[in-house]
Amino acid sequence: MAILVNAASNVLIQGITGKQGSFHFKQMRAFGTNVVAGVAPGKGGNLFEGVPLYETVQEACEHHRIDATVLFIPAAFCKDAALEAIEAGIKVIVIITEHIPVQDELIIVNRAKLKEAVIIGPNTFGMASWKCKLGILPNVAFSPGPVGVVARSGTLTYEIVGSLTNVGIGQTSVVGLGGDRVPGSSFVDMLKRFEVDPDTKCVVLVGEIGGNAEEEAAEFIKTMSKPVVAYLAGKSAPPGKRMGHAGAIIERGKGTYEGKVKALTAAGAQVATFPYEVVEKVQTLLGRP
């Protein structure tokens, strides 16, 4: 089991013939992802590495059952591409692109809510369930197992997931929320899914300073039956200075590292000070040496 997608999911790639799209398409397929179609305006009717190309998302959906799509589209065109996927009825939409205008992100996220579609991103590494990857995550880090992972930080996630894999602890699903100010999904959205997934026995939350997403997650964690291990990036970040992601900034004293640790700890989550401690805490919770 997994959340959002699994090995049986049919996947579309928008922008499949571009530099980034074509590279990561091959990586996704090597991971086991069932890529059934691509959208590349001006190239419809052709094949790309054996995958049929279409002019529009709607056309692709008329020929295939599409469960999820991943966008490798330049920021200026991403709003239109995402809205096209939403209107075509696709329920899981992963937006890798960064530097999308905030107003465009607001339009995408609000329309997705109306159509009950799940947006992962923008500015995300994507997500992966075993044999179904949508995005740019390195294939070698992941393995199947009982841990669900939800994160705002890409590189830290790769490190933590790779470390879990190295000690024989795999993952049900790994989800990157993205680091922009207007994420399509929240920690709470994914925690709810992991809570009801029967194969997820423990959840790892990788957060960072800025905003209140971790504090909101803490309120939900109080209601969860499954243990949560958290790690937060940005312990030494100075107030008012953006650290990497657009959303990772402490403003007016809110979104501090200390405040988030306090909220998560009070909710019952085990908070790791260093990434390697996440593995130790998960091993203890799962009863694995």
Burial class of residue 169 (count of CB atoms within 10 Å of its CB; 0-12, 13-18, 19+): buried
| Kind of pairing between the strands at 171-176 and 144-151 | parallel
Residue 241, annotated as binding a ligand: no
User: Is residue 97 annotated as involved in ligand binding?
Assistant: yes
Is position 158 annotated in a ligand binding site?
yes
Residue 27 annotated in ligand binding = no
**CA 28 – CA 139 distance, rounded (Å):** 8
What is the Cα gyration radius of the chain? 18
The burial class, CB within 10 Å (0-12 / 13-18 / 19+), for 166 is exposed
Nearest partner of 71 among 149, 11, 128, 153, judged by Cα = 11
18 labelled as ligand-binding? yes
**Of the residues 24, 63, 64, 245, which is catalytic?**
245
**Is residue 17 marked as binding?**
yes
Give, rounded to a whole angstrom, the gap between the first and last alpha carbons of the chain: 24
Q: Residue 99 catalytic?
A: no
Is 19 annotated for ligand binding? yes
Positions at the binding site for CoA: 17-20, 43, 96-98
Annotated binding-site ranges: 17-20, 43, 96-98, 158
Which residues are catalytically annotated? Answer: 245
